[in-house]
Amino acid sequence: MKTYFFFPAALLLVIAIIFMLRPNQNDNEVVIPVAVGENIKENAYLDFLGEIVDPSKQNEKHLVAVLDDVCSSCLSGQILFKLDSLQRQRKDIQTHILLPSKYSANDLSNMKSNYDLRLNFKTISAKLEVFIQSNQKALSRKGIIGAICLIDSNGEVKLIQLVKLGVPFREIITLITKELT
């Protein structure tokens, strides 16, 4: 008699374990703290960037790249070098690289001088860093290592492009370049 009850009980246990190990739907959702058309001066996560925009410079645009880490031989390094190249070609663009607070001002200065980059480096605000850390699981599952925003001289977000592992960065640069023309 015991063998008859063993199979259904084992099956129920396996189903319960599979259900518990199933990823939480909320862990897979990627929430972005800014929307196209929004002004960064009014955004609680990006308001610290308000100082970079100058409405008097109508033709100036800003590329803001938020990266979780930088490695010269990784995708993040490619991003830095491509954005620097774009910055050198286009005088109407100011490029800002935002990195986690684990990077000191000295680290940022060394990175800029060692790689001869014309990019502006900043650490992200504490509020944005907390937001990113709280969404780290979903970002990692989706292979997202950063984001690039195009912002006009008034502070309006014109384009948001997530940077994903496995997606050729030239596609991202193509999208950004199209938006700049």
For each successive 10 residues of the chain (181 residues), what is the average pLDDT?
Answer: 50 42 48 82 83 79 87 85 89 89 92 92 88 84 86 87 77 76 70
Domains contained in the chain, number: 1
Q: What is the pLDDT of residue 10?
A: 45
Q: What is the pLDDT of residue 93?
A: 87
23 belongs to a structural domain: no
8 belongs to a structural domain: no
Which has the closest alpha carbon to 125: 49, 32, 65? 49
CATH of the domain at 119: 3.40.30.10
107 belongs to a structural domain: yes
Angle (nearest 5°) at CA 157 between 50 and 88:
80
Which has the closest alpha carbon to 125: 43, 53, 37, 38? 43
Q: How far apart are CA 130 and CA 127, in angstroms?
A: 5
4 belongs to a structural domain: no
2 belongs to a structural domain: no
22 belongs to a structural domain: no
Q: What is the pLDDT of residue 176?
A: 76
Note whether 151 and 140 are within 8 A (CB): no
1 belongs to a structural domain: no
Q: Which domain holds residue 72?
A: 28-180
Give the number of other CB atoms < 10 A from CB of residue 88. Answer: 12
149 belongs to a structural domain: yes
Q: What is the pLDDT of residue 121?
A: 92
